[in-house]
Structure 1
Amino acid sequence: MSKPGCFPLRTALLVFASLLAPPLWAASLQAELVDLAGQPLANAVLTLQGSPGSAQPAAPGVMDQRAQQFMPHVLAVRTGVAVSFPNSDDIRHHVYSFSPAKRFELRLYKGTPSEPVLFDTPGVVALGCNIHDWMLGYVYVTDDPWFAVSDEQGRVQLDGLPAGRYQVSLWHPQLVDMLSQPGGELQLGEAGSQQRFSLAVQPAEVAPARAPQSAFGDAFKKARDAAQ
């Protein structure tokens, strides 16, 4: 028999185990994102807002550079998250953005810059390289507590969602004006849900648009010859 005023050991263990176990009300969402012709859309962002409860962990972001391309092409992060920009190529890159949500530049470098970049304003941040004009990537910064980027088959899966009602937002780089679109309302029960969302995207360009000219133009032209 436990002493008066002492918390029983068994009760303590049960409480601890309940903290570690996933909540019984957790639901999952499996979604497919397609264009108007029904073709899968890779690099589409789906976000959820509405139901109170926990949010997915705000993990640090990583935007790599491989084979003179940004990897991933689209990175989604929560507002206030720092993103690192490693350069896995054997040549130097000069990463920059003129987007209102985040203006920055990482001057010519190899490896990984010592300081990540803080993305503290929601919005779409278009990335370019002043050495390789065809390089184009995006960081989608959101205040919404749940979000994911679709894979090559247009699939998205979110687990551990509180059951409840959500407002869906959708985004893709080929949307007109690159503005997010409402995806309607979603009711999630404990059993989860499977959904299909269509986006009216513009045809992909044959070649990426040339990056905006920088104020450092002449210096970058000289550096380009040295980097290649």
Structure 2
Amino acid sequence: MTRYLIPRLNGALLGLLFSAGVVAAELQVQVVDGTGQPLENAVLTLTGPLGAPAAPLRAEMDQKLKQFAPSVLVVRTGTAVTFPNSDNIRHHVYSFSPAKRFELRLYQGTPSEPVVFDNPGVVVLGCNIHDWMVGYIYVTEDPWFAVSDAQGQVQMQQLPAGRYTASLWHPQAADMLPQAAGELQVGEPATRQRLTLELPTTARTPPAAPAPSAFGEAFKKATRDAAQ
């Protein structure tokens, strides 16, 4: 179900948790919009009784069929992200976002050096060659996180049982800021929850074709709302 989730607990850490009396639990969440429709590409982050275990902070944002893949990526602060180009044409990836400004000039294949996202916030990605290409990297300091799939489903496994504070974010949210989603009690058996993230009415009606100014509009929205 989950399109992206880090970190996972390794066997040694699981042994420590069990020996300390901490139960590893599972959380299943469906994220819906205000009309009750499943919401894809919603970011769910959690803070809870324990921090996440240390894990390699690495992720990947590909480019396929002249689109970023995934279109929404969530990473923890300090993560090194690589930007492979799986197309047979060159792309020029960049961001002007305050959380991370960078530029990967016209290239094919995979750049030798990843980009480290060291500040929390929303990073809007564009391609200097293909104006309709828009991607989002949501950088969080919360230890647990995932992105919903096409059915709005999120599944997190091996969570320490306990009470968590949840937040939700989506690139089409009115203010481009995370929204509080209440508290979740995670335990055994698997905990199932349904969370709602309100979106503007127009956000659920996609345009007939990619707008040439898609990146510009997304970037202006992100920087405007972040400054409020």
The two structures have a TM-score, normalised by structure 1, of: 0.80
Residue 56 (structure 1) shift:
7.4
Equivalent positions of 1:103-114 (< 5 A) are 103-114=101-112
Query: How has the CA–CA distance of structure 1 residues 119 and 73 changed in structure 2, closer, same or farther, with 3 Å as cutoff?
Result: same
Q: Of 177, 180, 183, which aligns to 2:181?
A: 183
Measured against aligned partners, the alpha-carbon deviations of 1:25-55 in whole angstroms (never above 9, x if no partner) come to: 0111100011111111111100001312544
Between structure 1 and structure 2, the one with the greater Rg is: 1
CA contact (8 A) 2:68 2:135 kept: yes
* 1:71 matched to 2:31: no
What is the aligned length? 197
Query: Which amino acid in the other structure matches residue 191 of structure 1?
Result: P
* 1:89 matched to 2:93: no
**SS of the counterpart of 1:140?**
strand
Measured against aligned partners, the alpha-carbon deviations of 1:169-220 in whole angstroms (never above 9, x if no partner) come to: 100111012111000011112333100011111324413443339xxxxxxx
Query: Partners of 2:181 and 2:54 in 1: how far apart?
Result: 20
Residue 20 (structure 1) shift:
6.2
Percent identity among equivalent residues?
62
Query: Partners of 1:119 and 1:182 in 2: how far apart?
Result: 23
* 1:211 matched to 2:220: no
Query: Partners of 2:174 and 2:75 in 1: how far apart?
Result: 22
CA contact (8 A) 1:54 1:162 kept: no
CA contact (8 A) 1:175 1:201 kept: yes
CA contact (8 A) 1:76 1:139 kept: yes
CA contact (8 A) 1:58 1:78 kept: no
Deviates more, 1:202-211 or 1:78-87: 202-211
Measured against aligned partners, the alpha-carbon deviations of 1:47-92 in whole angstroms (never above 9, x if no partner) come to: 0013125447454110000000000010111100100000011111
Query: How has the CA–CA distance of structure 1 residues 126 and 84 changed in structure 2, closer, same or farther, with 3 Å as cutoff?
Result: same
Query: Partners of 1:158 and 1:167 in 2: how far apart?
Result: 14
Query: Which amino acid in the other structure matches residue 46 of structure 1?
Result: L
Displaced runs of 4+ in structure 1, greater than 3 A?
A: 17-24, 53-59, 207-210
The equivalent of 2:150 in structure 1 is 152
Query: Which amino acid in the other structure matches residue 167 of structure 1?
Result: T
The equivalent of 1:98 in structure 2 is 96
Query: Partners of 2:145 and 2:54 in 1: how far apart?
Result: 8
The equivalent of 2:190 in structure 1 is 192
Question: Alignment RMSD, CA only?
Answer: 2.0
Query: Which amino acid in the other structure matches residue 143 of structure 1?
Result: E
Q: Could you list the runs of 5+ residues in structure 2 that have no partner in the other structure? A: 1-10, 218-228
Query: Partners of 1:20 and 1:199 in 2: how far apart?
Result: 33
